[in-house]
Amino acid sequence: MTDPIVMTLSMIMVGQILLSVPVLLTRAKKSVICLPLALFLFANGALAMEPVVSTYFPNWYQLYSALAFPALFVLAPSLWFYVEGITAEKPWQLNSTQARHFVLLWPAILISVVMMFLPKDMHTAIFIDDADLSDPLTCTLMVSILIIILLWLGQCAYTIYRIIHRLVAYRQQLKNVFSNNDDKELNWINWLMFVAISAWLFSLATLFSSSLFDNLLFNLRTESLLLLLLIWSLAHFGLQQKPVLTEYNEENNLNSTLNNESVSETVLDIESNDNQSGTTPESPKKYQRSALSVEQATRIAGKINNVMENDKLYLDSSLSLQKLANHVAISPNYISQTLNETLSANFFDFVNQWRIEAAKPKIIANKNTVLDIALEVGFNARSSFYKAFKQETGQTPSEYRKQLEKTER
| pLDDT (0 to 100) of residue 409 | 61
Per-residue pLDDT of the chain (409 residues; tens, 9 = 90+): 568 888 898 899 999 999 999 999 999 988 899 999 999 999 999 988 988 898 889 899 999 999 999 999 999 999 999 999 999 999 999 898 999 999 999 999 999 999 999 888 888 888 777 667 778 888 899 899 989 988 998 998 899 999 999 999 999 999 999 999 988 899 888 888 887 777 767 666 655 555 444 444 446 777 788 888 888 888 888 888 889 999 888 877 765 554 544 444 444 454 444 444 343 334 344 444 567 888 899 999 999 999 999 999 999 999 999 999 999 999 898 999 999 999 999 999 999 999 999 999 999 988 889 999 999 999 999 999 999 999 999 999 988 888 887 776 6
Name the residue among 204, 191, 196 with its Cα closest to residue 226.
Answer: 196
- Decide: helix, strand or coil at residue 178: strand
- Decide: helix, strand or coil at residue 405: helix
| pLDDT (0 to 100) of residue 262 | 45
| pLDDT (0 to 100) of residue 387 | 92
| pLDDT (0 to 100) of residue 78 | 95
Task: Identify whether the C-beta of residue 30 lies closer than 8 Å to the C-beta of residue 23.
Answer: no
Number of helices (H) and strands (E) in the chain: give both, helices first. Answer: 19, 0
Helix H or strand E encompassing 6:
helix 4-27
Helices (H), 72-186: 75-86, 105-116, 120-127, 136-177
> Whole-model pTM?
0.85
| pLDDT (0 to 100) of residue 21 | 95
pLDDT tens, position by position, 104-148: 999 999 999 999 998 888 888 887 776 677 788 888 998 999 899
Helices (H), 57-119: 61-68, 75-86, 105-116
| pLDDT (0 to 100) of residue 225 | 83
CA distance 409 to 407: 5
| pLDDT (0 to 100) of residue 408 | 65
CA distance 157 to 163: 10
CA distance 276 to 5: 80
Task: Identify whether the C-beta of residue 46 lies closer than 8 Å to the C-beta of residue 68.
Answer: yes
Q: How many CA atoms lie within 13 A of 327 on its CB side?
A: 20
| pLDDT (0 to 100) of residue 206 | 59
| pLDDT (0 to 100) of residue 324 | 94
Number of Cβ within a 10 Å radius of residue 272: 10
Name the residue among 390, 404, 396, 397 with its Cα closest to residue 363.
Answer: 397
Exposed (0-12), middle (13-18) or buried (19+): which is 195, by Cβ within 10 Å?
Answer: buried
| pLDDT (0 to 100) of residue 277 | 39
pLDDT tens, position by position, 352-388: 999 999 999 999 988 889 999 999 999 999 999 999 9
DSSP string across 269-281 = HHHHHHHHHT---
| pLDDT (0 to 100) of residue 161 | 93
